[in-house]
Amino acid sequence: MIITDTHTHLYSEAFNEDRHEMINRAIEQGVSRFFIPAIDSEYTESMFQLEKDFPEHVFLMTGLHPTHVKDNYKEELNHVEDLLSKRSFYAIGEIGIDLHWDKSTLGVQQQAFKYQIQLAKKYKLPIVIHCRDAFDEVFEILESEKGDDLFGVFHCFTGTFEQAQQAISYNMKLGIGGVLTFKNGKIDKFLNNIDLKHIVLETDAPYLAPTPYRGKRNESLYVLKVLEKLSYIYNSSEEELAEITTQNSKDVFKV
């Protein structure tokens, strides 16, 4: 059984003490494909090291995270574009809009999001979207950029059924992670009305650990808890769901 974690920050400082052991734990249990989103240029070298250490398992993205869109965001975007000109990546991400922490940066977040979508189109890559307290703002930009060349993953999807349908209409898979296992997560109430072809698994490690690890450090192995809950919701075997969601990830990332 091959399981894909489509969103995991394995380079995070949270794993500095046991990174290789943590990754190997996951691989031993079948979680053997890790898609690594970027945050900003400070993490580029550690992402490359991760790829070097686990070349058969690690697949890198590049991009500027919306919470890291600061005064130097144009330099950061130049860094992303420079990397794209020098080597291949599997997606542009994670990109998007986050109004949870700072609403004052909305304008530059919108600029950075749109610019990176256009980069993804130029390089024929999927995007991986971060959206927090910003569904309307994200959808407004997706609407302006929609087309066959816009596709990707709506990471950590926590919206309503209607918002799920809207995301899917823009050629987005829904990234389903630990929130699915939360008592107040809400998406478990309607997810079985979404065709499985639109779903990929993720952890967002080291964040958003699923129940029963909620509040603790998340790791890629814990995607098994998401798979377990998905199996219950869809009344399908974990093996079948692992196969479908891994194939969905291959459809998006082309690997």
> Rounded distance, CA 183 to CA 205, Å?
20
> Rounded distance, CA 144 to CA 43, Å?
30
Residues of the chain with pLDDT under 50: none
**Which residue has 């091959």 as its token pair?**
2
Q: Hey, what domains does the chain have and what are their CATH numbers?
A: 3-253 (3.20.20.140)
Residue 185: predicted pLDDT:
87
How do residues 205-237 score in pLDDT, each as one tens digit? 999 999 999 999 999 999 999 999 999 999 999
How do residues 115-151 score in pLDDT, each as one tens digit? 999 999 999 999 999 999 999 999 999 999 999 999 9
CA 128 to each of CA 27, 63, 91, 116, 150: distance values in angstroms, whole numbers, following the listed order: 23, 9, 7, 10, 11
Residue 235: predicted pLDDT:
97
Question: 198, 191 in Cβ contact below 8 A?
Answer: no
- If you average pLDDT over every residue of the chain, what do you get? 97
